[in-house]
Structure 1
């Protein structure tokens, strides 16, 4: 009887984990904080948000973007070789400038943080001038944690001559936090 119960619990868990992320209930993919005008959540909680704590990210309020919100925005596609000189891949998601517009940024610089702690400073003017996307899909499939997910900053360097020489360092994958400064 215990074995049957264990198999049932495992099956239910696997079914929940393998569902389409667009319809899965869950938390926020990307948290935008810092100098923003639109907020919809409170301060970080060190007891329940250890990733923020581990990277020294603290805020009093933020604007959060769940997968469904990002998926409901106008989607843009970028076919680009990533990493530079590598395989051409098809990424899709909303424009980063449209995502930022929801949070009403009041600064000129972003610090984008990835799940592995990698951080990159990016000028907002760069985002406004180019069709940079917050990719949530690659080749039509949701970006997964363990891959490039949950979200990735993707630059259209193959289609935008001004970005032809952009360094891969500006491509942040595993994005979960964007601070506006």
Structure 2
């Protein structure tokens, strides 16, 4: 019987850890996430300010884009790391930009490729004037299949909200 209790406790610990709320943003949020998420800090949503986003594991990526010249160096966090951190469910991520651009992205993209949510390009912090403050960036130069217009539409700049469906 004690082994059975230990088994249940071991199984529940990850779920309990995911149920803890996020810290409250100390500055204006740059990104909000809603929908099928387990971890929240504002009602049923997760809001992140710059400091909170910068605390996620950092990654970098060098690639060309269809809207800039040459190869650019991006830094940020992997979208799949954010999805895992928030305990998301669902098969689709709806990305919304400041200019009301909206696109549905299959969740599988974020596990098949190292898709970055970039906050810097070529060492400079992204601003709304230059596609920021956040930009979904695919490693297009690393995968021939990503050099397709269907993926180009998924490069959401001025990202401010994600809805997990």
Q: TM-score range by the shorter chain?
A: 0.7 to 0.9
Gaps of 5+ in 2: 1-25
**Of residues 56, 69, 72 in structure 1, which corresponds to 2:52?**
69
Matches within 5 A, 1:31-180: 31-42=32-43, 61-83=44-66, 86-165=69-148, 167-180=151-164
TM-score (normalised: structure 2): 0.78
Using structure 1 for the length normalisation, give the TM-score: 0.72
How much has 1:177 moved relative to structure 2?
0.2
* Alpha-carbon distance in structure 1 between the residues aligned to 2:29 and 2:105: 22
Aligned counterparts of 1:34 and 1:74: Cα–Cα separation in 2: 23
The alignment of Structure 1 onto Structure 2 pairs a total of residues equal to 139
* Match in the other structure for 1:15: none
d(CA) in 2 for partners of 1:40 and 1:85? 36
The answer to whether the 8 Å contact 1:84/1:168 transfers is no
For residues 86 and 140 of structure 1, the distance between their equivalents in structure 2, rounded to whole angstroms, comes to 16
Give, in whole Å, the separation in 2 of the partners of 1:114 and 1:27: 16
* Mean CA deviation greater in 133-142 or 163-172: 163-172
Other structure's SS at 2:96 match: strand
Q: Structure 1 CA distance, aligned partners of 2:66 and 2:49?
A: 27
Please give the alpha-carbon distance, in whole angstroms, between the structure 1 residues aligned to 2:68 and 2:129.
Answer: 22
- 2:20 aligned partner: none
- Is the CA contact (8 Å cut-off) linking 2:136 and 2:155 kept in structure 1? yes
1:123-179 alpha-carbon deviations (Å, 9 max, x no partner): 101111110000011111111122211101000010134423354211000000000
- Equivalence for 2:30: 29
Separation in 2, partners of 1:85, 1:177: 23
**8 A contact 1:77–1:90 mirrored in 2:** yes
What SS is found at the alignment partner of 2:140? Answer: coil
